[in-house]
């Protein structure tokens, strides 16, 4: 397969990616709302976006990756109800609602987010705009939407009239009549359509962060933030917009209505959405109190990259079930993979260019086929188990890991012969040949390697 193919939510089809500017891709990802730690379900989405960026780099593209930080305006309900999530968080932490406290809270959770992202080996986006630093851009964009006749005022603020935007239901394939009786029916009575939403929110005297605007003192809605910041850094038309599938029906639908309402032209060519991480039958969610953070994974003794490995075992458009048992399996596989890589370092063997090229092609076919990472992982395993020479294997690991991001070559180098002994010992353990396993443990000790069997697989350490 030639070229990158991606499943576009807008057309519900897998399409060959065609950049607006040759050799360049602009990617916008909805970033975290920094009122709490991100849970690993959120992180799964960011990992898929990180992989997307790496796939483009692998294909020789120049990438501009923009991810915003929402530090104001994201209300408790996505449909403009309730209070600002950051205001609620201040109360949760028993802090007085002041501008200083709000900024301190946002900074703390922003730092935690990037600390977790780093643990998961995500590349930092090229541009990370904060909502509070782009309010003027949001006001300017809202003015254009107003000039084009898409708005009306209520006591809540300036509202977007969704009935005026003819493609409103396109991205989500929404049936608005059905929705009226559903989740979004509880809107204030001044609203003309249940799907209408606020661009600018006024009359909330308790809200700490407020700015002057043509519509009165207030603050921007969450949706306008992404429209304004993405266009500021990627232009009025750009290639790819990503997020979790929970953003399709409201947030991304509203972003399109705003952006295209302002410019009158098509905004984003390709929309990509990552599926949920699920806990048995539930979606991982903060409101249900069922969330696990990256730091929880670390505290339980797992390598955060084993979680990244777990994410790579499922396609980004499939649900992935999280359990500690699955986490243990992922850790074991990740350990074995790293051990295989160590083993390859000591291997000689004859080079086989034809075979190496075949693995390279299969890997590229996998990642370019709508980011089929389970396939890509299988190709890597296949290459490591193949007859390729050690140096060829390491060369492939280096190339493939630029997409996988599993730090497979970063591991401390084992003494000569140790990886082979570890693998033999693993085999013996699998056959429940404990005598042999113990003998191999002694041999490893002699060459300065201590192995330890844990529920998360065999770990090793150099003694000297
Ligand atoms: Zn967004």
Among candidate residues 256, 274, 292, the one where a domain is terminated: 274
Q: For residue 445, what pLDDT band results from cuts at 50, 70 and 90?
A: confident
- Same domain? 353 vs 447: yes
The reply to whether 258 and 332 lie within a common domain is no
**Rounded Cα–Cα distance for residues 204 and 176 (Å):** 29
Q: Which CATH number is 24's domain given?
A: 3.40.50.620
Q: For position 281, what pLDDT does the model report?
A: 59
Task: Kindly state whether residues 233 and 360 are assigned to the same domain.
Answer: no
Dist. CA 255 → ligand 1 center (Å): 7
Q: Is residue 400 domain-shared with residue 268, that is, in the same domain?
A: no
- Percent with pLDDT over 90 in the chain: 71
305 in any annotated domain: no
* Domain's final residue, options 250, 274, 298: 274
Among 138-142, 179-183, 380-384, the least confident range: 179-183
The predicted structure's pLDDT at residue 81 = 63
Which H helix or E strand runs over 101?
helix 99-119
Ligand 1: centre distance to CA 149 (Å): 23
Residue 112 lies in a domain: yes
Residue 181 confidence (pLDDT): 42
Residue 254 shares a structural domain with residue 332: no
416 or 32, greater pLDDT: 32
Q: How far is the CA of 29 from the centre of ligand 1 (A)?
A: 7
Ligand 1 (ion): residues with CB under 5 Å are 30, 226
Distance of alpha carbon 428 from alpha carbon 425, whole angstroms:
5
Q: 218 with 211: CB under 8 angstroms?
A: yes
**What are the tens digits of pLDDT across the range 291-340?**
899 999 999 999 999 999 999 999 999 999 999 999 999 999 999 999 99
How does the average pLDDT of the chain come out, rounded? 91
Ligand 1 center to 254 CA (angstroms): 9
Same domain as 239, residue 346: no
CB atoms within 10 A of CB 281: 6
User: Please, is 417 exposed, middle or buried when counting C-beta atoms within 10 Å of its C-beta (0-12, 13-18, 19+)?
Assistant: middle
Does residue 310 lie in a domain region?
A: no
Whether 56 and 137 map to the same domain: the answer is yes
Within this chain, do residues 70 and 169 fall inside the same structural domain, yes or no? Answer: yes
Could you write out the DSSP letters of every residue in 286-347?
Answer: TTTT---BHHHHHHTT--HHHHHHHHHTS-TTS-EE--HHHHHHHHHHHHHHHHHHHHHHH-
Query: Is 1 inside a domain boundary?
Result: no
**Residue 87 and residue 158 in one domain:** yes
**Same domain, residue pair 332 and 416:** yes
Calculate what percentage of the chain has a pLDDT beyond 70.
Answer: 92
- CA–centroid distance, 221 to ligand 1, in Å, is 11
CA of 34 to the centre of ligand 1 (A): 13
Ligand 1 centroid–CA 251 distance in Å is: 6
- Using 50, 70 and 90 to split pLDDT, how confident is the model at 215? very high
How far apart (Å, rounded) are the C-alpha atoms in residues 230 and 227?
Answer: 6
Q: What is the pLDDT of residue 420?
A: 85
Claim to verify: residue 266 and residue 343 sit in the same structural domain:
no
- Nearest CA to 338 out of 272, 411, 288 is that of 411
Question: 302 burial class (0-12, 13-18, 19+ CB within 10 angstroms)?
Answer: buried
Q: Tens digit of pLDDT for each residue in 29-50?
A: 999 999 899 999 999 999 999 9
- Look up the pTM and report it: 0.87
- The answer, yes or no, to whether residue 1 has pLDDT greater than 70, is no
Task: Confirm whether 9 is domain-assigned.
Answer: no
Average confidence (pLDDT) over 169-196: 71
For residue 58, being part of any structural domain is answered with yes
The span from the CA of 315 to the CA of 14, in Å, is 14
Please check whether residue 9 is in contact with residue 248, taking contact to mean a CB–CB distance below 8 angstroms.
yes
Q: How far does the centroid of ligand 1 lie from the alpha carbon of residue 79, in Å?
A: 14
Residue 270 Cα to ligand 1 midpoint, Å, equals 15
Same domain, 117 and 256: yes
Instruction: Tell me, in angstroms, the distance from the centre of ligand 1 to residue 223's CA.
Output: 6
Range of the domain at 452: 324-462
Domain presence at residue 348: yes
Residue 184: per-residue pLDDT? 47
Q: What whole-number distance in Å separates Cα of residue 272 and Cα of residue 242?
A: 5
Rounded to the nearest angstrom, the distance between the alpha carbon of 450 and the centre of ligand 1 is 48
Q: Does pLDDT of 282 surpass 80?
A: no
Write down which residue in 274, 290, 305 finishes a domain: 274
Neighbours of 205 (CB within 10 A): 7
Dig out the tokens for 80 from the structure. 């403009």
Residue 245 has pLDDT above 90, yes or no: yes
Residue 170 lies in a domain: yes
- Gap from CA of 2 to ligand 1 centroid (Å): 31
Counted domains in the chain: 2
d(CA 224, ligand 1 centre) in Å: 8
Q: What is the arithmetic mean of pLDDT over 105-123?
A: 96
């Amino acid at each position: 397969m030639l070229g990158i193919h991606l499943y576009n939510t807008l057309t519900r089809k897998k399409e060959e990616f065609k950049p607006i500017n040759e050799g360049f891709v602009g990617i916008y990802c909805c970033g975290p709302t920094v009122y709490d730690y991100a849970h690993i379900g959120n992180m799964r989405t960011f990992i898929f976006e990180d992989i997307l960026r790496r796939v483009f780099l692998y294909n020789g593209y120049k990438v501009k990756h923009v991810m915003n930080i929402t530090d104001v305006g994201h209300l408790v309900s996505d449909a403009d109800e309730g209070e600002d999530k950051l205001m609620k968080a201040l109360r949760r932490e028993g802090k007085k609602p002041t501008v200083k406290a709000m900024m301190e809270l946002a900074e703390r959770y922003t730092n935690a987010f990037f600390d977790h992202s780093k643990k998961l080996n995500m590349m930092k986006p090229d541009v990370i705009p904060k909502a509070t630093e782009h309010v003027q851009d949001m006001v300017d964009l809202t003015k254009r939407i107003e000039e084009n006749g898409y708005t009306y005022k209520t006591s809540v603020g300036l509202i977007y009239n969704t009935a005026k935007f003819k493609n409103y239901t396109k991205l989500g394939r929404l049936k608005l009549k059905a929705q009226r009786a559903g989740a979004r029916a509880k809107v204030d009575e001044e609203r003309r359509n249940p799907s209408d939403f606020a661009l600018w929110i006024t009359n909330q005297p308790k809200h700490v962060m407020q700015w002057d605007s043509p519509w009165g003192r207030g603050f921007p809605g969450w949706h306008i933030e992404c429209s304004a910041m993405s266009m500021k850094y990627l232009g009025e038309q750009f290639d790819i917009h990503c997020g979790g599938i929970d953003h399709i029906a409201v947030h991304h639908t509203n972003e399109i209505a705003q952006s295209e309402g302002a410019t009158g032209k098509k905004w984003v060519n390709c929309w990509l959405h990552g599926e949920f991480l699920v806990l048995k039958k539930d979606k991982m969610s903060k409101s249900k109190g069922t969330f696990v953070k990256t730091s929880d994974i670390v505290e339980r003794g797992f390598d955060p990259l084993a979680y990244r490995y777990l994410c790579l075992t499922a396609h980004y458009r499939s649900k992935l079930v999280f359990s500690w048992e699955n986490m243990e399996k992922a850790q074991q596989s990740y350990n074995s993979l790293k051990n295989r890589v160590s083993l390859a370092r000591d291997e000689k063997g004859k080079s086989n260019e034809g075979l190496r090229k075949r693995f390279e092609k299969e890997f590229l076919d996998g990642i370019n086929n709508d980011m089929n990472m389970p396939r890509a992982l299988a190709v890597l395993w296949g290459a490591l188990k193949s007859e390729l020479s050690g140096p060829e294997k390491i060369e492939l690991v280096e190339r493939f890991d630029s997409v996988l991001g599993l730090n497979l070559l970063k591991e401390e180098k084992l003494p000569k012969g140790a990886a082979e002994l570890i693998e033999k010992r693993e085999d013996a353990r699998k056959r429940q040949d404990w005598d042999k396993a113990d003998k191999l443990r002694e041999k490893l000790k002699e060459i300065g390697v201590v192995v330890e069997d844990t529920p998360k697989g065999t770990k090793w350490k150099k003694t000297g």
